[in-house]
Structure 1
Amino acid sequence: MLSMCSWLNLSAQLPLKLPDLLSDHAVLQKNATVKLWGRGPGSFELKIVASWSPADTIRLQIGAECSWVTSLQTPAEKGPHSIVFICGNETKKISDILLGDVWLCAGQSNMEFNYDWGINRNDSNYSIVENNEIRFFEVEKNYDEIPVSDCRGKWVKCDPVSASKFSTVGYFFGKNIQQNTQTPIGLIGAYWGGTNIQAWMPSAALPPVSERQQGTYIEPYGWAPKGISTLFNAMIYPLHRYSIKGCIWYQGEANVDWEWNSYGVLLTSLVKSWRHLFENPFYFYAVQVAPWNGYKKLRAAALREQIENAGRSIPRYGSIAIQDLVPDTANIHPDRKREVGLRLSDLVLKEVYDQSAFQPYPPSILKVDFKNRSALATYQATGALQAKGTNISGFQLAGADSVFYPAKAQLLRNNKIEVSSPKVAKPVALRYCFENTAVPNLFDKTGLPLKQFRTDHYIIY
């Protein structure tokens, strides 16, 4: 009996475990050194064979802690490919792998928003077409007080069912990039409605304000985790070995009434910490929060400004404004998510994929000259600005008393706008659409709206 037990112990083998990210239908980053990792029996040899390079077998010994990490060079050929893992008497195979570009789609409810939230499925613009070269991996919702090694989820091919369950912004972002680059696109969704930016950051990345003080500004409620680092630990940290091209970020609503004047510092710290963790200076593109009438006065406008100005300190970063894509400012979840995804992807196609056919930059005010009873704004745009509607809305002027009043605007030649108000005899400051619910109605020939703008630097309370 003793000899039989000894034989069983010698022949037994811990199972080889791969993370859910490394599974059938995955998209791996092309032309990159990607990491592979997992768990297995300590001291056993592991052999890894990729179908694109079968002669270059990777051999490594699993450590005593029963975990392993290695690297693998990927080519440009899209596939499909496979990877075989051989360890002792066990063999695992990952099949139908595509090599392309991987993008992380992260944030709160407006990124999480999918077809089941209220998309009009009868709108032909929102039709979903099966596409084998778009794949989704939605990270299962989870939170933890310490970083965890793995997350749950699975890679699925794009079809009407899978795409309708994934982020609508993410789907149309990936669809537009895939169509214009003919590159397989992998989309990883990590989002949770109602969550603040602090939950998505490692605690070490918080600015030099004590965690205790940070915590006092976190609005508690029971249906979403808002504790510092809880979502970073459980939904971002497990992804850090996976090579990605970039990230799109749609978050900020939960921070408007708390960090409206400091969100840019938090966002900068988040991006830097994620890039450090991933050991990858990946691209990062953010969506400025939409107009909503539930915020306290001017704070959403201030936070939009924070998101845009974060580009001054974050390389390989961009942001888009979506104030014109809101049909109802009483709805914090505007449903024109296709347009948000397209606007993001147009910017990425221009800046990341060097596709010159795209012009993603909105018109903007360059300078303002104050003369007598009016202000003269000079703008840059693709073609001349045109107003939708009979009156130009959104302009405000203030005098030395810093009180802003609605102002009348007139489009002039040579990219000029004259702005005046009977209540401001000598203007010293001008704002355009710098309000929580401001929806612009000036557009250039690209169809993009004139950007939110202000000349003043008054503190927003």
Structure 2
Amino acid sequence: MATRGIVLGLVVPLMVWVSRSAGVDFRFASYIDNNMVLQKEPAGAVIWGFGLPGATVMVTVYHDQQTVMKKVTRVRELSHVWMVVLDPMKPGGPFELMAEQNLAKMNHTLRIHDVLFGDVWLCSGQSNMQMNVSQIYNATKEMSNITNYQSVRIFSVSLAQAEQELEDLAGIGLPWSKPSSENSDHGNLQNMSAVCWLFGRYLYDSLQYPIGLIASSWGGTPIEAWSSERSLKTCGIRQQGVLLLDSVTGPSKPSVLWNAMIHPLNNMTLKGVIWYQGESNMNYNLDLYNCTFPALIEDWRQTFHYGSQKQTERFFPFGFVQLSSYLPQNSSEDGFPKIRWHQTADFGYAPNAKMPKTFMAVTMDLGDRHSPLGSIHPRDKQTVAYRLHLGARAVAYGEKNLIFQGPLPKKMEVLFSKRLLNLTYQQQIQVQRLDKQIFEISCCGDHQCKWLPAPMDTFSNWTLVLNISSCPGPLAALRYAWTTWPCEYKQCPLYHPTSTLPAPPFVVFLTN
């Protein structure tokens, strides 16, 4: 698999964070810095750091040199941590934050400037999330189109592993920055996740207030590495050693990336999370992904809710990218379709009963045969991010009457006399072409069932008729787009007519 190449190609030079408190026992948490975005109302942003046990810490927020608010707390004895929750703030800025520590006659002051209030999104996953802006289609244009997006601030966590949950980040790959195309450490989009950046850019176009983006991803990694020990236990997974699979080229030991790259952020007040991962589970715990993924979502939600003093919503919005197409080499033909299905907890759509307040970007029609990074890494991340942001607008921001997912059938009727299967969809459909292979039926006879093509026959705005004459016996199931490469680039047969969102893959078992 090509994953190994992209991991190597995406590891940027790390600016390993050195404690700003070297010699001084007072500092902000590592990700609290100049140019950052803090979560706006109705939540309160959490500001925290480390200090001398028993010391008093006062946090002051300024705007145009005027005091906006003051919060006072004490440094905890055992952990040396201090923490305040700011009053809910309207979006905007810039603001300045000052933290003062007082203990006896000792006084220390910290300041950060150009702080904005808006919505903060965490972006995580493996190599398709890690792909930076320089590696996608129209990269030069994307890196120059930043003038109007200086209120979209970016931050990247450096690659790190840990055997235990860390309280603060081990390192920072890109400090909080305004986007820049310059060849510098600060704000260079070549060091930023493309999907994360584009998602934030599309959100800003819609919302017109600051967006904070935190990228924390590592190529070639399975979901187990991003899951806490608690969530893995709910799926029957125990601690284990390093994997030796082509699909797993990054850290694979359970929880090591959760411990080092996610848990240290849990005190932060977030708006939501987007996730792009699954390729590395194609041959590893594949049949558990319908448990491990919902369990990860639930555990992250619980951890961030309580870590932020209940400021992050208990069921914050969680978006994810359903896997694109892949030209397999030595992998199971069924792996990718199963992962796509398991990403939805076997519902075929999101949100659903097991995954509330989630949203999904279907990308199986974005296959990239000629990607220099391998077909598993499609370069059209603009469409990925655009489809994700539609889900965010509908699920996270409550935008009404917005189509954010493609059509699925709501009713199926077998016309035995004509050997036809009539599908009625819950949305209007646009049929781009009559495909003879993409629909399949499970045809039973002689005590066994086999999958056979069910060619698309006729259609209307709401219905599609399949020809099932190839099956003389009972039908057990119907499935759509159940291959690693269902169609060429944006050439799947079924879309929604106005949103141009593709119909997602599905499998359904029939009763006769």
Q: Please confirm whether the aligned pair reaches a TM-score higher than 0.5, indicating the same fold.
A: yes
- Structure 1 residue 427: deviation in Å? 5.2
**262-271 or 406-415, larger mean C-alpha shift:** 406-415
Give the distance between the partners of 2:364 and 2:144, measured in 1 at CA.
24
Question: CA 1:450–1:67 in 2, change beyond 3 Å: closer, same or farther?
Answer: closer
Q: Which stretch shows the higher mean deviation, 215-224 or 409-418?
A: 215-224
For residues 67 and 450 of structure 1, what CA distance do their matches in structure 2 show?
49
The one of 82, 92, 114 aligned to 1:78: 92
Whether the 8 Å CA contact 1:375–1:430 is kept in 2: the answer is no
Any conservation in 1 of the 2:430–2:461 contact (CA below 8 Å)? no
- Percent identity, aligned pairs only, is 26
Relative to 1, partners in 2 of residues 1:117 and 1:413: Cα closer, same or farther, differing over 3 Å? closer
Amino acid at match of 1:142: A
How far residue 37 of structure 1 moved from its aligned partner, in angstroms, is: 1.4
Correspondent of 1:215 among 214, 235, 240: 240
**8 Å Cα contact 2:124-2:275 kept in structure 1:** yes
1:174 Cα deviation after fit? 0.4
Task: Confirm whether residue 387 of structure 1 aligns to residue 432 of structure 2.
Answer: yes
164, 171, 178: which is aligned to 1:157?
178
Give the SS at the match of 2:67.
Answer: coil
Q: Distance in 1 between matches of 2:390 and 2:146?
A: 20
Q: What runs of 5+ residues in structure 2 fail to find an aligned partner?
A: 1-22, 183-187, 306-311, 347-351
1:375 pairs with 406, 421, 434, which one?
421
Taking the TM superposition and a 5 Å limit, the aligned residue runs for 1:270-349 are 270-279=296-305, 280=312, 281=314, 282-294=316-328, 295-309=331-345, 311-328=352-369, 331-349=375-393
> What is the distance in 2 between the residues matched to 1:291 and 1:340?
13
The reply on whether 1:435 has 2:476 as its aligned counterpart is no
Cα deviations by residue, 1:265-324 (Å, 9 ceiling, x for unpaired): 101111111111111322101111112132412221111111123632122112221111
- What are the Cα deviations for residues 96-154 of structure 1, in whole angstroms up to 9, with x where unaligned? 000000000000000111133354435x5785323211001100110000111211321
What is the SS of the residue equivalent to 1:85?
strand
Question: Residue 365 of structure 2 aligns to which amino acid in structure 1?
Answer: D
Distance (whole Å) between structure 2 residues aligned to residue 283 and residue 256 of structure 1: 26
Structure number with greater Rg is 1
Counterpart residue number, 1:188: 214
| Cα 1:55–1:387 shift into 2, 3 Å | closer
Q: Distance in 2 between matches of 1:256 and 1:367?
A: 31
Residues 166-213 of structure 1 show CA distances to partners (whole Å, capped at 9, x for unaligned) of: 11111111001111111200000010000011101111211445544x
CA distance in 1, matches of 2:432, 2:242: 40
3-state DSSP of counterpart to 1:160:
coil
Question: What's the offset of the Cα at 1:398?
Answer: 2.6
Output the amino acid matched with 1:64: E
| Contact 1:324–1:449 (8 Å) recurs in 2 | yes
SS at match of 1:80: strand
1:34 aligns to 2:35 (yes or no): no
1:410 partner amino acid: D
Counterpart of 2:3?
A: none
Aligned length: 443
1:444 matched to which residue of 2? Answer: 496
Q: Is the partner of 1:455 in helix, strand or coil?
A: strand
Determine helix, strand or coil for the equivalent of 1:73: coil
Is 1:405 aligned to 2:452, yes or no? yes
TM-score (norm 2): 0.80
Q: Is contact 1:393-1:441 (8 Å) kept?
A: no
TM normalised by structure 1 equals 0.89
- For 2:159 and 2:27, the matched residues in 1 are separated by 21
Distance in 2 of aligned mates of 1:105 and 1:113: 12
